[in-house]
Structure 1
Amino acid sequence: MPARNFGSCTNNSKEDCDDRCYSTQSDRAVDEPFKTSLYDFHVKCSGKMVPFAGFLLPVSYGGESIAASHLHTRKHCSVFDVSHMLQTEIRGRDRLKFLESLCTADLENLEANKSVLTVFTDSITGGILDDLVVTKTALGYLHVVSNASRRYQDQLLMIKAQDTWRSSGKDVQCQFLPPEERALLAVQGPETAQVLNSLVDVDIEQLPFMTSTLATVGDVPRCRVTRCGYTGEDGVEISVRADKAEHLTGLLLESPVVKMAGLGARDTLRLEAGMCLHGSDIDHTTTPVEAGLSFVIGKFMTSHKGEWKTIMEKTTLSTPNQDSIPDLPVIGSLVYCETKRRRESADFPGSKVILHQLKHGPSRCRVGLRASPGPPVRAGARILTAEGDDVVGYVTNGGPSSSLVTNIFFNIQPCLFVSCRYVTNGGPSSSLVTNIFFNIQPCLFVSCRYVTNGDPSSSLVANIFFTIHPCLFVSCRYVTSGGPSPSLGVNIAMGYVQMECSRVGSNLSVKVRDKTVGATVCKLPFLRPKFYQPGKNNK
């Protein structure tokens, strides 16, 4: 396959902005899928290669089922090739403020060699453009890992911002690391530390969750080892030179407890762990508050502040306010401390909308549901009341779960299109793209994106008043992702429901094909995560 140029953001010219972005199939359909540096290795291991996010990646290996690979990861240790993800290094004296201008994290107060989950947010709507893990290295740069499906958009976002900053005399340089130069391996499972102890030149026991270090792994020097993952298990992600990736993978596989795992197991593992997939469970129409990710807004873990905590211990859904919305994991970062500098400064993109939701609560939220025995709940299934009447949401993610022997899933509320002729009051409308206030006036659907004020509209035969808090158009009429949960023995899925339907224990139903299946709102995540915390019982 011909090589393609990733480019770097060290040029100050805007004319070549697009040329400095690496385009993948997920961005431009005319492009054929890319191959990671481990492609030949996957084929040699009988990997079943499929296109994913612009790359050819293994969904499974040989005759082993996805469920068997999933369970092996939960019990032992698996290696995943995640080299398709975008790795970026950001340097310069203004690097912290630069990245803070694009995301919600408090990087200024983050300790050196700590990592944090954060999100790029839309400056107007507060919607999630992408989720990413940022490591503040002790070597004067930030290491960023973001989604492959958003590679082109993320690069363009950072390039344009960098050009703006540099034109005003700021010092910042973004460098994208192409997969032909830098690979990324995820080593996940309860026996990860045991496997790595004999290979690395650092003490793995002293590397807490969401902490990063440079280490020699086997005989491969200068590998960035970060204790994080996308499975809910203990594990690390290893950033390594691409020409050393196959050798390093071979060293890991010398342990009898280690196997290769593919996209199929990765998806079911993250679903059980309640972790979101961008483009399915979260996207530009979803705010962090609606997604149960309010902990990414300026919260992080520091080693010297109090006890380690996990988000799932913090709260459960009850009433629509920020204390009732569970901060759920996406890629990691369940541990946090109460730092609210970004919330108080309100200087992150989309802060008006997001802070308004934190204060007053959103109209919908992401929850987990466990379905009655029957066919798996799949993307697109409608979520109904327990009586099977009104639609209260749509499934975004679901399937059978082997361990719980029932069906569980996430769901998402439908667009609240105004079908009535009269309404008596109003407020933020996530469904209609605007904030509309009526007072006993005929109302029509408003198709504009946002405005900042308004007065009587004779053409619409309604008095329409808009606020400065534009809302998102929610096009959620289908399930966006799903799959079986081998650990739980039940069918599971994810999505969003109206807040009044979100209380744990609420009985609902879901339309699966022509059948109505009972479902109960349950606490997320479906499985308690096992992220490593020093001094704790990590079993």
Structure 2
Amino acid sequence: MLLPRTTRLASALRVAVNSRLNAFSRFYSSAAPRTLARTPLYDLHVARGAKMVPFAGYFMPVLYSDESVGESHNWVREKAGLFDVSHMVQHRLTGPGALPFLHSVTPSDLTRLPQFRSTLSVFLHPVTGGIVDDLIITSHGPDGFYLVTNAACKDKDLAYIARNMKPFASDVKHEVLTGQGLVALQGPLAKDILTEYLSGLTGSPVDLSKLYFGASMFVEIPSLGEKLHVVRAGYTGEDGFEISISEKNTETVTTGLLDVGSIGGRIRLSGLGARDSLRLEAGMCLYGHDLDDTTTPIEAGLKWVVGKTRAMDGNFLGAETISGQYDSWSIVPRRRVGFLVEGAPAREGAEIVERGTDNVIGKITSGCPSPTLGKNIAMGYVRSGFHKRATEVGIKVRGKKHSGIVTKMPFVETKYYKAP
């Protein structure tokens, strides 16, 4: 019997996500299952019926027993989802050498980053300009920065930071915030829920209306004995917030948000499955798939993270390659693009071929059925010249060639709360 389209889509999405997560943990998680770390919310996840999987050295929830990945995805698009992202690595850099150090290893122009604002950036390899990791940098002032890097790259990143910080060691202090939790509240109702929760804790109204996308603030909570670090950001394409909390208070804050959001049925816990499909619809990269040590930010469609003046002065690792690519698209060998794919969904590693031939022109790096669009979407890299929108290609899925067309990203319009 043929299942309804929505059921088939959710089932296919679940298979796709599980296979992608298994591949990611196989390549990037060095810990054996019995030595996997647990976030401060591990017990809460288990109690709420989470399916826990190995991911980046941690036990992490992929989905919950009361809904499919597709249902969780749609819930975030329509209401609010709460993600545990405590596995991400949080850092603090302080001292007069913090800015010069970051300028030496990233191409971002952080002199243009206002206090309490954030930006996406990348750590770069020397000469090649390959991406060591992507990260979020938040300015807390001229001598203070808060960073969030990928858990899967923790060992590599820490070695990279230590190696490249040596010339600045006397002027910068680097701390890994190991005692911190991190949760992401995402969706169109996120602002209302967080406003109600924070206002209830502080006993006075907390106004988030002027906290625009990429901005951050500290909210002092006397009853918890700490200040919560709140950034209006996320990795779903929806409006939302990331909240950094001490480990001892992470479960308290999480259950508090869930309790407030349960009024009117506005919130649910969400797992890695929905996070993956949401970020793909938003055209966002996942390190280890869409970005790696061989990819430059220009190839990845992240030219905007390279400051124009930084490209001109060339005073950062990898500038030999990045500055040249910044000034001349003709020397960029490949481009990251989005695809709509007919028939079966294209998985990571699927070959992209020139239309009507078997001439391989690239590979898929991420792909899944889109719950929002009801179509198969993917992103990948193609040789320059085949990157233009509406270019028709062939994509090989399990030995069969399917039609694909280059399309703009994001696949689903983002809903960031930006300044008017």
Match of 1:82 in 2: 85
Match of 1:396 in 2: 365
Match of 1:317 in 2: none
Which sits farther off after the overlay, 193-202 or 96-105?
193-202
One-letter amino acid of the structure 2 residue matched with residue 190 of structure 1: P
* Counterpart among 342, 348, 356 of residue 387 in structure 1: 356
Match of 1:464 in 2: none
Match of 1:189 in 2: 187
Q: Closer, same or farther in 2 for the Cα pair 1:46/1:27, shift >3 Å? A: closer
Q: Secondary structure at the match of 2:154?
A: helix
Q: Secondary structure at the match of 1:229?
A: coil
One-letter amino acid of the structure 2 residue matched with residue 370 of structure 1: L
* Counterpart among 28, 32, 38 of residue 41 in structure 2: 38
User: Which of 1 and 2 has higher RCO (CA within 8 Å, sep 6+)?
Assistant: 2
One-letter amino acid of the structure 2 residue matched with residue 184 of structure 1: L
Matched residues in 1 for 2:28 and 2:337: separation?
28
Query: Residue 205 of structure 1 contacts residue 534 of structure 1 at CA under 8 Å; is this kept in 2?
Result: no
Matched residues in 2 for 1:93 and 1:278: separation?
30
Determine what percentage of the aligned residue pairs are the same residue.
40
Q: Closer, same or farther in 2 for the Cα pair 1:525/1:217, shift >3 Å? A: farther
Kindly indicate whether residue 367 of structure 2 is the aligned counterpart of residue 367 of structure 1. Answer: no
- Where structure 1 has 5 or more consecutive residues not aligned to the other structure, the ranges are 1-23, 299-339, 401-484
Matched residues in 2 for 1:345 and 1:508: separation?
39
Match of 2:318 in 1: 350
Q: Secondary structure at the match of 1:376?
A: coil
Give per-residue Cα distances to partners, 1:483-539, cap 9 Å, x unaligned.
xx211101111100111111101111111113211111101110111110133xxxx
Matched residues in 1 for 2:223 and 2:269: separation?
21
Query: Residue 29 of structure 2 contacts residue 55 of structure 2 at CA under 8 Å; is this kept in 1?
Result: no
Query: Residue 99 of structure 2 contacts residue 142 of structure 2 at CA under 8 Å; is this kept in 1?
Result: no
Cα RMSD, aligned residues only: 1.8
One-letter amino acid of the structure 2 residue matched with residue 108 of structure 1: T
Which sits farther off after the overlay, 27-36 or 342-351?
27-36
Give per-residue Cα distances to partners, 1:158-207, cap 9 Å, x unaligned.
122333322xxx410000011xx100001100111111111225311110
Kindly indicate whether residue 52 of structure 2 is the aligned counterpart of residue 49 of structure 1. Answer: yes
Match of 2:16 in 1: none
Give per-residue Cα distances to partners, 1:277-336, cap 9 Å, x unaligned.
0010011110000000010112xxxxxxxxxxxxxxxxxxxxxxxxxxxxxxxxxxxxxx
Q: Secondary structure at the match of 1:198?
A: helix
Q: Secondary structure at the match of 2:100?
A: helix
Matched residues in 2 for 1:488 and 1:497: separation?
24
Give per-residue Cα distances to partners, 1:429-468, cap 9 Å, x unaligned.
xxxxxxxxxxxxxxxxxxxxxxxxxxxxxxxxxxxxxxxx
How far is 1:75 from its partner?
A: 0.5
Matched residues in 2 for 1:33 and 1:242: separation?
18
Match of 1:176 in 2: 176
Query: Residue 25 of structure 1 contacts residue 33 of structure 1 at CA under 8 Å; is this kept in 2?
Result: no
Query: Residue 200 of structure 1 contacts residue 216 of structure 1 at CA under 8 Å; is this kept in 2?
Result: no
Quick check: which one's helix share is greater? 2
Q: Secondary structure at the match of 1:200?
A: helix
**TM-score, normalising length: structure 2:** 0.87
Match of 1:277 in 2: 286
* Counterpart among 126, 138, 146 of residue 143 in structure 1: 146
How far is 1:138 from its partner?
A: 4.0
Which sits farther off after the overlay, 248-257 or 70-79?
248-257
What are the within-5 Å matches in structure 2 for residues 526-537 of structure 1?
526-535=411-420
Matched length: 381
Query: Residue 162 of structure 1 contacts residue 174 of structure 1 at CA under 8 Å; is this kept in 2?
Result: no
Matched residues in 2 for 1:278 and 1:357: separation?
21
One-letter amino acid of the structure 2 residue matched with residue 189 of structure 1: G
Match of 1:504 in 2: 389
Matched residues in 2 for 1:173 and 1:294: separation?
29
How far is 1:356 from its partner?
A: 1.0
Query: Residue 311 of structure 2 contacts residue 322 of structure 2 at CA under 8 Å; is this kept in 1?
Result: no
Greater C-alpha Rg? 1
How far is 1:379 from its partner?
A: 1.6
Query: Residue 311 of structure 2 contacts residue 326 of structure 2 at CA under 8 Å; is this kept in 1?
Result: no
Q: Secondary structure at the match of 1:125?
A: coil
Q: Secondary structure at the match of 1:277?
A: coil
One-letter amino acid of the structure 2 residue matched with residue 290 of structure 1: E
How far is 1:150 from its partner?
A: 0.6
Q: Closer, same or farther in 2 for the Cα pair 1:53/1:138, shift >3 Å? A: same
Matched residues in 1 for 2:220 and 2:124: separation?
36
How far is 1:94 from its partner?
A: 1.5
* Counterpart among 213, 220, 236 of residue 217 in structure 2: 213
Give per-residue Cα distances to partners, 1:26-78, cap 9 Å, x unaligned.
46445821100100010001110000001100000113100000000000101
Matched residues in 2 for 1:25 and 1:382: separation?
20
Kindly indicate whether residue 400 of structure 2 is the aligned counterpart of residue 515 of structure 1. Answer: yes
* Counterpart among 226, 237, 249 of residue 232 in structure 1: 237
